[in-house]
Amino acid sequence: MKDQLHNTARIEDGVFQANPGGFGFVMNAEGEEFFIPARDVNGASHQDTVRIVVVEEAQRGLRAQGQIIEVLERGLRQIPGTFQKTKKYGFVVPDDPRIFTDIYVAGKDCRGVHNGQKVIVRITRYPKDGLKPEGVIEKVLGDPALMDTQIKAIEATYGLEETFPQKVRKEAKAVPGYVDMNDYPDRSDCTNLLTVTIDGEDARDLDDAITLEKKGENYFLGVHIADVSEYVTKGSALDQEALHRGTSVYFPDRVIPMLPRSLSNGICSLNAGELRLALSCFMEFDSKGEVLDHAIKKTLIKVNKRMSYTGVQAILDGREHPENDREDIVKLCFLMKEAAAVLKEKRKRRGAINFDFPESKIVTDRHGNPKKIYPYERNTATDIIEDFMLLANETVAEDYFWQDVPFLYRVHEEPEHEKIAKLATFVRNYGIHMKVGQEHLHPKEIQRLLLNLEGTPQEALVSRIALRSMQKARYSSVQGEHFGLSTRYYTHFTSPIRRYPDLMIHRIIKQSLSGKLDEESIQILDLTLPEIASQCSKTERNAMEAEREVIRLMKAKYMEDHLGETFEGVISGVASFGMFVELENTLEGLIPMQAMLDDYYICDEKNYQLIGEETGRVFSLGEKVTIVVTGVNRQMKQIDFMLEEFLSYDILDIGQEEEEAMELLLKSYENK
């Protein structure tokens, strides 16, 4: 019967994403996702490439369901975990709860490894016929209590390497550390232009610089991007490693760069006073932000001054600052503010969406431990650079689309109709009507929704739900709209030091400018760009997940020093197992359902609420609450809260099950 089913049903290949509950999901190359029940996992492990048979097609908002019939390629070969030793053998308990089983290590392979150490185990035999996987200890990371050890374990989980292979280091070392102008007669000399970089104070890889003038009513903007492709040549070891990494990864206390630091912080970085190679996009735009003319050129530039976001903001605010020492640069800062405001207003008119959620800024000590966490505040200076980079990315994308040249685009598809319909139903509670009946949703509908709620108590709540309704942006060799920016043409051109798509685009542009983009080159690009786009989308997601894990780890570590303390926060999520609360410092914790001591609460997913069965009390997204920190699990990167009001409850007045839960929750609170 099963064979007959396999012969007639749809067969799909994809990557298996396991869930700690035993089930999982498989996503195919087109982005379609299939639910895999625990009984149908059939020996597959997290991140394996698998073949499935579709046993139920998607219906009534439910995903299609599949059954794994073959593991095509194993995904995880090196797994971090905690080593446990017995008299005759050892085993490793994986850090990742999505890896369901421990890994057996033979006694002969346990020498020199101590009980409780954090290790990386290499799989030598995958689970089969009910037997556990087997492995050998590849590396001992050390004491699991140390932050450095825990971060290195996360790096291993996501396949991130801080060091580069020897061949890559050798190629990087061979790159000259200076630029001789005489070696580049075909480049436009832009060293006479007043040029600045604007970055964070701790930035070391400076890949964009700005020139700006105003003549009459029009602005003449130059966005100059480090020409990394001059040093990272196609097919070299540097290039292959950069494609493998796809992107630099940023943790609070370290960076795992896409390129060796001798390049990313050295010859590729647009350091002040140094002659540098660049690929420059010159744009003329009017007082309405309309681009009237543009040119893309290979250039030689020399940055006059390195500016910081805080320094530029101080200048704009009229405050004293060490960077406020040149009158021409002070004037330039005010002109940049004026020009950026023009561009921002144009994007607003066309419907671009602005989700303004604060990111976490984590300050660490020399051991990597978090000492301070607060919201990273954007300012006018950060917006200026963003506005200029967005314009350059749009201009380059549109230019090469109309040249009909193979290219890499940044695509952000329209949200799924079902998610927007749910959002529209929800906001009707606030008297807001969304136009969602048309075949296509215009970004202006989301923009209008957010503007209507600006400054209201519901703003943060609806913004969160709207953001969750959006698709994920990705790279594609096929041009498509960018819904969030409300533009037909968009690419990533401005960060080739830290993103491979930008580096690839620079190569294509330079081939085109040099007249070397012949028919054979175009055919090669047509064949290779889809795979490059897929790889870059994959590495971007991987980096984002790793960065998120490290931030969660550091937040958990930080809250270990704040057990029993009281904080104000807002409800940021509700689920059948409890509700999440986000504090003003961006930390988020869970109030488990068993810690809701005044009633039995039911989750109303449609309206994002918890409702008391007896009292009718309602907890809604965005509602302000006062919590107490009751527990931290650094291994699971979880923080537990309880509503402060429940501390006064007499533990003798509640049932046995609730009493046990209460005792656990208050265990860390006893010494307050």
Domains of the chain: 2-73 (2.40.50.140), 78-144 (2.40.50.700), 166-412+476-551 (no CATH), 417-470 (no CATH), 563-669 (2.40.50.140)
Write the DSSP symbol of residue 479: -
Q: Provide the 8-state DSSP code for 654.
A: S
Summarised one tens digit per residue, pLDDT across range 459-504 is 877 888 888 889 999 999 999 999 999 999 999 999 999 999 999 9
Residue 413 CB burial class (10 angstroms; 0-12, 13-18, ≥19)? middle
Cα 472-31-244 angle, rounded to 5 deg: 75
60, pLDDT greater than 80: no
The pLDDT tens digits of the residues spanning 73-86 come to: 998 888 999 999 99
Whole-number pLDDT of residue 223: 98
pLDDT confidence of residue 157: 87
Do 268 and 205 contact (CB within 8 A), yes or no? Answer: yes
pLDDT above 70: residue 431: yes
Tell me, what's the pLDDT at 87? 87
- How many other C-beta atoms lie within 10 A of the C-beta of residue 74? 15
Residues of the chain above pLDDT 70, percent:
95
Confidence of residue 239 (pLDDT cuts 50, 70, 90): very high
Per-residue pLDDT tens over the stretch 546-587: 999 999 999 999 999 999 999 999 998 899 999 999 999 999
| Residue 2's pLDDT band (cuts 50, 70, 90) | very low
- Among the listed residues 573, 567, 585, the one whose alpha carbon sits nearest the alpha carbon of residue 643: 567
Banded model confidence at residue 650, pLDDT cuts 50, 70, 90:
low
Q: Residue 667: is its pLDDT beyond 70?
A: no
Residue with tokens 């400054």: 455
Q: What is the distance between the alpha carbons of residues 270 and 273, in angstroms, rounded to a whole number?
A: 9
Return the CA Rg of the chain. 27
Considering only 4-8, 342-346, 632-636, which range has the smallest mean pLDDT? 4-8
For residue 664, pLDDT over 60 is answered with no
Residue 61: is its pLDDT beyond 80? no
